[in-house]
Structure 1
Amino acid sequence: MPFILDDPTPPDPRRRWADLDRAARGAAYDNNAGVPDSAAQVAARNAASAEYRAAHPAGLDIPYAGAERAAFDLYPAADPRAPCLVFVHGGYWQRNARADFACFAEGLNAAGWSVAMPGYTLAPEASLAGIVAEIGAALDWLAAHGPEHGIGGKIVLSGWSAGAQLAAFHLGHPAVAAGLAISGVYDLAPIRDTYLNDKLALTDAEIATLSPLRLPVIPKPLAIAYGSRELPALVHDGRNLHALRSAAHAPGILMPVPGADHFSILNGFRRPDGMLVRAAQALLEDAR
């Protein structure tokens, strides 16, 4: 069973999961429907990311493995010893691409950090176990070959939405100093009861071994962020993971971001003084 904090607000729909039909269960995780202007936010993000990639072409599309999507976009700092944020994109493991999130390298680059954005094969072409393995391979590659591309500093592993599950899972990777999980899903069991599982086809083993809320706590710093306007299921997953880690005395803050929804929360990466940029910087202080 996953760790569950006894916190009634906002109401967590999974507490009455058995009473909900499949459509209602899907709605509990439908971030696009849950944010009225999600389409406009996504369009603006993609346009800004295309512009940022065009302005920084030198480190794009560098393979870390053989699959088509298994490649990095690298945005190195001027100092190869600078810290690096590895950002894993979301999309419920079945949509989006690293290129769509390039604009979120802007604030950290301006603050003197490197940023590395790995892509990964999407479901149903890959299982979740396969996706998890690809992110592990990406971290292996970056540790071995990052210095050749101007990235040799400490790594903070971050991810958003589905990417937050991937980041939290890989917090224990030897190359990772700390983690920043944003708006994540940390218990996979309810996902199997929704439309998202049509492509994921989650197995019992994947739920048991890939859900951060069902795994031993990794004693490295992990900040857990969510927007105050997130769907309740994601709010509770973030709170539950932080409570589980706190009970084990693992370092890392819980960051409710006032007024932020599932998409706007990432704007905290757009400026060098943004909340997520500052959170990444603080994590390396905790990791010392």
Structure 2
Amino acid sequence: MISDWNDAYANGAHIKGAESYPELWRERAEKYRETLLDADRARLSVGYGTSERERFDLFMPVSAPLGLAVFVHGGYWRNFDKSTWSHLAQGAVDRGYAVAIPSYTLCPNAAISDITGQIARAVSQASGMVAGPVHLAGHSAGGHLVTRMACALSPLGQGVAGRLGHVLSISGLHDLRPLLRTDMNRDLRLDWAEATAESPALHAPRDGTRLTAWVGAEERPEFLRQAELIANIWTGCGADAMLKVAANRHHFDVIDDLADPHSAMIEHWLS
């Protein structure tokens, strides 16, 4: 039985050197952006709405893209923006895909349901700029958001939904009801109704959905449970859903393989 729900969803406190990761991510992201800007293969801050944070960066491959890959960042819907994660586009870009990385309005300035709508608009806008299949990946809260795109009831339009390929939820949150017991809910402002409505595990998947819940073996037990949950339930709902547990990976380094075009993660996601 879990008695401390704040600790159950705390990652940094259980990862050695956790405080160094945000700066490392920012440095790698800036370096990669500069490389693609110099090659005229980056379009930064493309608008997909009217609010300040409704922007995405689009990174292009050397030749005509094979399709679109979208990465949605985490941070418990409360932290970060697109500029911290540019380097994670490299794996898919080097494999010939255009990659969009959106920002979104953070809680408490937006409800999670509002952010779900923003991501749907970002995916729609980016998919209108790039032909071919659309593969989605997201980390932590971003895993929740991309999985919501694959729900039968989501704000993603039918045209774009019909192009969805593989959805990769990395350390995703698929049942939001436990977060009602955490202090972070002061910012998330979830009540039972919204936590239920925004939990992909409580939705049916869209017909034809292919979803992988990818999680690090060294993550907090709740993140392992959340990954197992969506893979189990959506398999029972008829989706092509599976669980992948990455050995020797924790919540902060499990995403590193998105930057490697030859990693097992990239091979699996873009297959």
- Normalising by structure 2, what TM-score? 0.91
Contact 1:267-1:274 at 8 Å conserved across structures: no
Work out the CA distance in 2 between the residues paired with 1:37 and 1:239: 27
1:251 aligns with 2:240: yes
Return 5+ residue gaps in structure 1 as ranges: 1-15, 283-288
Q: Which amino acid aligns with 2:140?
A: S
Identify which range, 189-198 or 225-234, moves more after superposition: 189-198
Summarize the alignment of residues 1-288 of structure 1 with structure 2, pairs less than 5 Å apart. 16-17=1-2, 20=3, 24-57=4-37, 58-144=42-128, 146=129, 151-172=130-151, 173=156, 174=158, 175=160, 176-219=164-207, 220-282=209-271
After the TM superposition, which segments of 4 or more aligned residues of structure 1 sit over 4 Å from their partners? none
Work out the CA distance in 2 between the residues paired with 1:122 and 1:87: 16
Work out the CA distance in 2 between the residues paired with 1:233 and 1:262: 11
Contact 2:139-2:172 at 8 Å conserved across structures: yes
Work out the CA distance in 2 between the residues paired with 1:101 and 1:205: 32
Identify which range, 152-161 or 87-96, moves more after superposition: 152-161
SS where residue 85 of structure 2 aligns? helix
Measured after TM superposition, the shift of residue 43 of structure 1 is 2.1
Work out the CA distance in 1 between the residues paired with 2:117 and 2:235: 27
Identify which range, 200-209 or 221-230, moves more after superposition: 200-209
Work out the CA distance in 2 between the residues paired with 1:196 and 1:277: 32
Measured after TM superposition, the shift of residue 249 of structure 1 is 2.9
Return 5+ residue gaps in structure 2 as ranges: none
Measured after TM superposition, the shift of residue 88 of structure 1 is 0.4
Work out the CA distance in 1 between the residues paired with 2:122 and 2:108: 20
- Structural RMSD (CA): 1.4
SS where residue 86 of structure 1 aligns? strand
Q: Which amino acid aligns with 2:99?
A: V
Q: Which amino acid aligns with 1:236?
A: R
Work out the CA distance in 2 between the residues paired with 1:274 and 1:267: 9
Contact 1:158-1:164 at 8 Å conserved across structures: yes
Measured after TM superposition, the shift of residue 205 of structure 1 is 2.2
Contact 2:217-2:248 at 8 Å conserved across structures: yes
Measured after TM superposition, the shift of residue 275 of structure 1 is 2.1
The change in CA–CA distance for 1:245 and 1:233 in structure 2 (over 3 A counts) is same
Contact 1:182-1:225 at 8 Å conserved across structures: yes
SS where residue 123 of structure 2 aligns? helix
Identify which range, 223-232 or 169-178, moves more after superposition: 169-178
Identify which range, 221-230 or 248-257, moves more after superposition: 248-257
Q: Decide which structure has greater helix share.
A: 1
The change in CA–CA distance for 1:143 and 1:271 in structure 2 (over 3 A counts) is closer
Q: Which has the higher contact order (CA 8 A, sep 6+)?
A: 1
Contact 1:217-1:244 at 8 Å conserved across structures: no
Q: Which amino acid aligns with 2:94?
A: A
- Normalising by structure 1, what TM-score? 0.85
Measured after TM superposition, the shift of residue 81 of structure 1 is 4.2
Work out the CA distance in 1 between the residues paired with 2:53 and 2:74: 14
Aligned residues: 257
Q: Which amino acid aligns with 2:10?
A: D
Work out the CA distance in 2 between the residues paired with 1:106 and 1:177: 19
Q: Which amino acid aligns with 2:177?
A: A
